Amino acid sequence: MLDRLQADLKTAMLARDAPRTQVLRMALAAYKNEAVAKGLGPQGILEEADALAVLKRLVKSREDSVAQFQKVGQADRAAQEQAEITLLKAYLPAMLEGADLETAVRAAIAQTGAASKKDMGAVMKALQAAHGGAFDGKAASALVQGLLG
């Protein structure tokens, strides 16, 4: 992940692509901050799961910003944040959505034998174990609640 981010940053800088360069610099800074926080130092290499978690946090932060900018009528800022989300999502694995997510949730419910909303934690743990971070937690949670409701 680190090598890919650094190579893409170099390419963006050579192409004088300022918006892409800015986003990639920010992503690398977040990556290095996480490495330092984990005690690896600024040149440390994160586990793949940790690196993905950093990028997911960056995407989530921008999604929240888009909602806020749209709420106050700043469409241009919302569009800028959306462009950053698109760029960052290229570094994340394909996410389970729609029917695929529902199938995965149903499988997790069957695996855990969940019968009510009290079992939601077990279902979410099973889903996480089976699919890692390849799903939107909010969407999965809403689906689990709907199916167990």
Query: What is the rounded CA–CA span in Å between residue 124 and residue 121?
Result: 5
Picking from 89, 117, 138, the residue at the C-terminal end of a domain is: 89
Q: Classify burial at 81, counting beta carbons within 10 Å of its beta carbon; exposed 0-12, middle 13-18, buried 19 or more.
A: buried
Which pLDDT does position 100 carry in this prediction? Answer: 85
The range of the structural domain enclosing residue 62 comes to 2-89
Tens digits of per-residue pLDDT, 91-133?
A: 887 777 788 888 888 888 888 888 888 888 888 888 888 887 7
Looking at the structure, do residues 36 and 71 belong to the same domain, yes or no?
yes
CATH number for the domain including 133?
A: 1.10.10.410
Partners of 135 in beta bridges: 96
Looking at the structure, do residues 107 and 79 belong to the same domain, yes or no?
no
> Which stretch of DSSP H or E encloses residue 21?
helix 18-37
Picking from 49, 64, 89, the residue at the C-terminal end of a domain is: 89
Tens digits of per-residue pLDDT, 24-79?
A: 999 999 999 999 998 888 888 888 878 888 998 999 999 999 999 999 999 999 99
